[in-house]
Amino acid sequence: MSVFLCCVFFATGCAVGGLGRPDARSEVVQGVLPSVVELIFERDEVAVRYASGVVVGAEARSPAGPPASWVLTSAHAVVGPTVARAALVIRYQDDAGARCAAPGVVEAADAKNDLALVRVDGLRLPAARLGDGRVGVRLGDDVVVIGAPFGRGVSVSSGIVSQLETRHPDGRRTLEPLLKVDAPVGYGSSGGGVFHVSTGRLLGIVEGYRTATVSLKLAGEPYSFQVPMPGETFVVRAAEIRRFLGERGFGRLLTD
């Protein structure tokens, strides 16, 4: 959903230091960064879709076979006509910090809960630790969101838990609070990881976001751009991720 604005105001000011435990955020980012990957669909070597993903497990597919890593992402990013007959490429960071690429295969998808699991053969990437949103998550808690907007490499944004709801719109109680954060994200961030700063655990993945379309004229020429709306980044929660992996036969990936 986009909101159209006819004007925009820019303001400047002074930043106040010492807020938000920057050292804790930095430590979390450094710890989980190797678990976040880029997903790029290419057709005839031209990118047709970008997305993000989080490694949730790695294992040998057979006792004597090579390893495989399992990447969690959004179903809407890896299924549909846009990616038909397109090759899925996973970009990741190796131990030396170099950006590498490997082919990926969509192993399972759940459109209802907007989750998908991608297999990357021949790699054993470090897995994120999945959290439990029913315990120790409060409004205002610090979070970091790590994804790969626009396919331009992994980037980090920070914010807080901006909304927790304990019931669905129809009144049913949720197993885990509905979750939104105010960290700004852009196209290609779907599937990116939302991490709790206090624990370093994965609270969920980015499902979607709401932006405002800002239009203005500069030197008589029209311009428009998308601005993320505060508090409107939607998260698929850890409870849904656990359920999805369990129902699709991948509960073994949840080691803690």
Q: Is the pTM of this model over 0.95?
A: no
Do 147 and 205 fall into the same domain? yes
Assess if residue 176 is contained within a domain: yes
Q: What H or E segment, with its residue span, contains residue 201? A: none
Q: Provide the CATH number for the domain around residue 79.
A: 2.40.10.10
User: Cβ(178)–Cβ(237) under 8 Å?
Assistant: yes
User: Cβ(191)–Cβ(147) under 8 Å?
Assistant: yes
CA distance 253 to 256: 9
Give the pLDDT band of residue 242 (cuts 50, 70, 90). very high
Give the pLDDT band of residue 165 (cuts 50, 70, 90). confident
Tell me the residue ranges of DSSP E strands in 61-182. 67-73, 87-93, 99-103, 105-110, 115-121, 142-147, 155-167, 173-181
Do 137 and 233 fall into the same domain? yes
Do 68 and 136 fall into the same domain? no
Q: What is the DSSP letter of 47?
A: E
Q: What is the pLDDT of residues 34-68, one digit of tens each?
A: 999 999 999 988 999 999 999 999 988 777 778 99
pLDDT of residue 210: 65
Assess if residue 249 is contained within a domain: no
The answer for residues whose C-beta is within 8 angstroms of residue 75's C-beta and 6 or more apart is 109, 110, 111, 113, 114, 115, 116
Residue 147, domain extent = 2-6+21-31+129-239
N-term to C-term CA, the chain: 37
Of 81, 100, 121, the position where a domain reaches its end is 121
